[in-house]
Amino acid sequence: MDKATDESTMRARALYEARATGVPIAPFTDTHPALAAEDGYAVQRELVALLLTDGDRIVGYKAGLTSIPMQEMFDTCTPDYGPVLASTVHASGARLPVSAFIAPKVEAEIVFRLGRPLRGPGVTVEEARAAVREVMAGLEIVDSRIQDWRIRLADTIADLASNGAVVLAEPQPAGPDPDHRLTGMVFTRNGELVATGAGAAALGDPVAVVAWLANTLGAQGVTLEAGHLIMTGALHAAVPMRSGDTFVAEFDRLGTVTLHVDDSDDAGQPPHPEGR
């Protein structure tokens, strides 16, 4: 094992332990500020291997940093990505305990399910659109195993692109020639409006996110499989999640997705079919 691989393995183990204990770790970039995106992905691969060994499985992929303001914040010109794990997927109406996370925030986004495989490079937006079978209103709980969200690009990539959990509404058929750029969304916390958004916030077109993922993963020999979930990125700034909160995102044409947050003894986590 070479030095770089050994360091990636140690960093992945640190994140794995942070996920298990709920105790965050210092940013890797504090001591190694030159760490780049490719270093983060090397750690991510090692971490995913550990989680799959535990019995989890990949049911899709998420893209992050799909808006220009977020890319500017991380001094990058491209999104990042991470796997969606079966253990993290829940159905709308789930009651999730805040204590299951470290520093959770909630984002609303458009989620697709593929009806056919996609393998880049060379996948076009139109090919990606034709591969989408269903579309869903979704909430992502983003969480950081890095202390105080003090993340740079390599840190968040290593940490599964800061993915914590996913809550999905009932799927809707993709329909003929849909323009998801125009899909509007209203986001409330405890009945109060906290954000609005539209599909175009995600890379100009959320279907373009599907094509980007297919091409980026394809260059590494990974295929987006039929049935995979594709999370296309937040349509607004993330909102902190607290015990007692109820989050509701209402999407034009896609319906409503709801998340209840508490730490009561009867807090349940209804699994989405993808998470079973």
pLDDT reported for residue 74: 75
Omega before 121 within 30 of 0, i.e. cis: yes
Q: Per residue in 159-186, pLDDT tens?
A: 999 999 999 999 999 987 789 999 999 9
pLDDT in tens, 131-158: 999 999 999 999 999 999 999 999 999 9
pLDDT of residue 13: 98
Q: Is the pLDDT of residue 275 over 70?
A: no
Task: Set out the domains of the chain in order of their start, with CATH numbers.
Answer: 3-275 (3.90.850.10)
For 28-78, how does the pLDDT look when each residue is reduced to its tens digit (9 = 90+)? Answer: 999 999 999 999 999 999 999 999 999 999 999 999 988 776 777 777 778
Q: Answer whether 261's CB lies under 8 Å from 244's CB.
A: yes
Separation CA 255–CA 202 (nearest Å): 19
- Integer Cα distance of 14 and 159 in angstroms: 10
Q: At residue 274, does pLDDT exceed 70?
A: no
Q: 0.85 cut: is pTM over it?
A: yes
| Predicted pLDDT of residue 144 | 97
